[in-house]
Amino acid sequence: MVYLDHAATTDVRPEVIADVAAELGALGNPSSLHGHGRTARRTVEESRERVAEAVGATPHEVVFTAGGTESNNIALKGLYWSRNAEDPARTRILVSAVEHHAALDPVRWMADHQGAVCEELPVDALGRVSPRVLRAAIERDPASVAVASVMWANNEIGTVQPVRELAGVAAEYGVPFHTDAVQAVGAEEVDFATSGVSALTLSGHKLGGPVGSGALVVARGLAPVPVLHGGGQERDIRSGTLSAPLTRGLATAVHTAVAEREEHVKHLTALRDELESRVRGVVPDVGVNGDPELRLPGIAHLSFPGCEGDALLMLLDARGISCSTGSACSAGVAQPSHVLLAAGADPDVALSSLRLSLGRTSTGQDVDRLVEAIGPAVERARAAMAKRRR
């Protein structure tokens, strides 16, 4: 089996498995005041310190969550509610048109149910939001903007956004700026303090950590209204009993991914470039999506004219090769990628695309297997589409 879907989820690191397993044998609720509870609390707080150090934050700014989706919901809903409560005129949420659905859908829900005005910022042909576009959107009515959000790096085409410049524009107008950095941590240099962002989302299972672990980094002075109410844990931003095993596993994954980033990027960049070159040798008219320069090292997002991406996915799966047509959260639905459509791609091109994403355990043999299978798969997919159109 060949796994080329690391952007959806990746291998849990052996050291993470060991840490989680060790902690699962310990007893104690981190909120309890007795000895067992204090021991569990020590694990949580040490984990908080490790995560904060890895992403350039202070421990107080790290709020543990169950993952990227929850972190995005807390940031976008919570900051909107907080800012709108201070001034009811603040109704606008600015979000890029190429966000993961874990950000887009909460904002659209807020528009449908909470009186928010959802404005999706347009992107260029490479999938990038220009700081000029954000500035123009804010300047239409600065006093009405509650929060802005643009992901650090796109999960489908890999384009890296000018986050520091965008955060700087938002700061000029006093607008909190959130970024979904789920794909960026461990692949890009992510430093919360110097980036200028107000809130940052990260997720464990994209980094070799356990599924169900994540964090929202929230700058001092911001108090998003909680989505969950209960025991008041995590600065009253995220109630719920903390999992010492998951926080320890998350901390180990984040710390290790950041420490190994430079070598990891070199490995993935070389492998991705080889993959794209060799696929082009077999399928000369293949298209490469995303920014050719500023994109994640492990993502090759390719369009195969005359094919349907879903058909290619299943043909490759039959050969033991796992990949994706885009975001795993929308897999199985035959519709064009909203990311490619926002970047101006033709719907047929968007439907013909595959995301081949590499990870820490990817090898040259994986590329060999893909190259061996892709030619026959494209030929069969094109023949099937031509037959349907006759």
pLDDT in tens, 286-337: 999 999 999 999 999 999 999 999 999 999 999 999 999 864 444 455 678 9
| Residue 11 confidence (pLDDT) above 70 | yes
pLDDT, averaged across the chain: 96
pLDDT tens-digit series, residues 207-258? 999 999 999 999 999 999 999 999 999 999 999 999 999 999 999 999 999 9
Average pLDDT over residues 126-151: 98
**pLDDT value, residue 333:** 52
Strand-pair partners of 217: 62, 200
pLDDT tier at 387, thresholds 50, 70, 90: confident
pLDDT confidence of residue 155: 97
Whether 72 shows a pLDDT value over 90: the answer reads yes
For residue 274, what pLDDT is reported?
Answer: 98
Crossing angle (nearest 10°) for helices 244-259 and 261-282:
70
Domains of the chain (ranges, CATH numbers): 2-9+261-389 (3.90.1150.10), 60-239 (3.40.640.10)
200 or 332, higher pLDDT: 200
Question: What is the spatial distance between Cα 319 and Cα 54, in angstroms, rounded to a whole number?
Answer: 39
Question: Per-residue pLDDT averaged across 7-18, rounded?
Answer: 98
pLDDT average, residue stretch 106-131: 98
Is the CB of residue 250 less than 8 Å from the CB of residue 13?
Answer: no
DSSP letter string, 255-292: HHHHHTHHHHHHHHHHHHHHHHHHHHHHSTT-EE-S-S
**Mean pLDDT score, 358-381:** 97
**Cα 129 from Cα 251, distance rounded (Å):** 31
pLDDT recorded at residue 3: 98
Cα separation, 324 vs 304, in Å, equals 14
CA distance 42 to 195: 29
pTM over cut 0.85: yes
Q: How far apart are CA 278 and CA 365, in angstroms?
A: 13
Q: What pLDDT sits at residue 334? A: 64
Share of the chain above pLDDT 90, in %: 94
H or E stretch at 4: none
**Phi, psi angle pair for 336, to nearest 5°:** -65, 150
Residue in 60, 28, 15 with CA at minimum distance from that of residue 221: 60
Active site residue 323: no
Mapping DSSP to helix (H, G, I), strand (E, B) and coil, where does residue 141 land?
A: coil
> Which of the following is catalytic: 118, 307, 323, 329?
329
Average pLDDT over residues 35-57: 98
Residue 390 has pLDDT above 80, yes or no: no
User: What's the confidence (pLDDT) of residue 300?
Assistant: 98
